Structure 1
């Protein structure tokens, strides 16, 4: 049963994604608070599914790929919900949002073209960016406004997307859990890399 916990945590984000969209559409009492609670809870499941899987020694490539796919669904759902609630904000920042989404799409394009697989680098910088995304979405959903936090999220997002593309271009074969471009260079040189037991297996 313990080995099913990471899988259950991963799939729970699909449930949260559906609830987030439903709340954004129906907009019942306290829906903004409820959505934000689901966002935070979803992030926590993302953190602990990997930690638990590694502690149980069941952190397989298949599980990490599943985690990456579900993450995309979860955050896209959160973005859609934020748009449904605060469409004006998105219209005002359409160009920056388009550039950011295009950069994200490019990382997947590079990965699929080169390896025929999705991105699953789980770089440390991307984990930091995820925290910024969470904070930005919470602020937008709560107030339909975000100034310096959104801009910080945008620039960090662009930098981290460029790092992921660099990692993918450096790797000769698909690998998951590459902490940074420095580690990708070492792998390309045939050297072993150290991964954080807590975050990168």
Structure 2
């Protein structure tokens, strides 16, 4: 019998499993109705795994990092699927898409250099970015409409810039920091704690 405390891990694992199935559906250069269904289920798993983990008090750094890797896997598979089905969209948006990739890689590089770990903040802007990606993916694969990609690209930049600043601000690696304002307050607490220990 599955323990309730294992549910967040199961949801993360489900996202890892669903991601390559999206690519499989797109291999013939078109997608079925199940592509949208699978993607929506994956996004819902992303929304609820964190909520459930916090409610059950099982939100560990390891789980949140796995959650971040599942997100990367999902959106990489969506990008591959887009190239297979809508290559012209990738070509038309190549400059803004490359800029979004560049700012994300910059964030990853700064976090790896400073903390030897990938970022896992799960900020409000990250959640907003996820919703715009949902709208963009449904718009493209459901209605062949690409312009909603602009919202996702703008939110990617806002989220990445916020998390870069947060990474530079915080003295130690942290997960589940909801915004730059929370990061500033946490920095004050951590610096005060550090100075108090040094004074002992």
Pair in the same fold by TM > 0.5? yes
Maintained 8 Å contact 1:17/1:73 = yes
Q: Which residue of 2 aligns with 1:15?
A: 17
CA–CA distance in structure 2, aligned partners of residues 175 and 49 of structure 1? 18
Q: How does 1:45-84 map to 2 (within 5 A)?
A: 45-84=45-84
**Counterpart for residue 168 of structure 1:** 167
Unaligned runs of 5+ in 2: 191-200
Matches within 5 A, 1:82-121: 82-121=82-121
Q: Quick check: 4-13 or 135-144, which moved more? A: 135-144
Question: Which residue number in structure 2 is paired with residue 4 of structure 1?
Answer: 6
Q: 2:26 aligns with which of 21, 24, 28?
A: 24
Alpha-carbon distance in structure 1 between the residues aligned to 2:29 and 2:150 = 27
Q: 1: distance between equivalents of 2:32 and 2:88? A: 16
CA distance in 2, matches of 1:38, 1:128: 20
What SS is found at the alignment partner of 1:190?
Answer: helix
Instruction: Give the number of equivalent residue pairs.
Output: 189
**Distance apart, 1:27 and its partner CA:** 5.4
Q: CA deviation at 1:63?
A: 0.8
Larger Rg: 2
Equivalence for 1:196: none
Contact 1:32 1:142 in 2 (8 A): no
1:188 aligns with 2:187: yes
Preserved contact between residue 110 and residue 164 of structure 2 (Cα < 8 Å): yes
Distance of 2:65 and 2:117 partners within structure 1: 9
> Contact (CA 8 Å) 2:29, 2:84: kept in 1 or not?
no
TM-score, normalising length: structure 2: 0.89
The offset of 1:143, in angstroms, is: 3.9
Q: Deviations over 1:17-62 (max 9, x none)?
A: 111010010357xx34211111111011111111111222111111
Counterpart-to-counterpart distance in 2, 1:21 and 1:8: 21
Distance in 2 separating the partners of 1:189 and 1:57: 25
Runs of 4+ in 1 over 6 A off after TM superposition: none
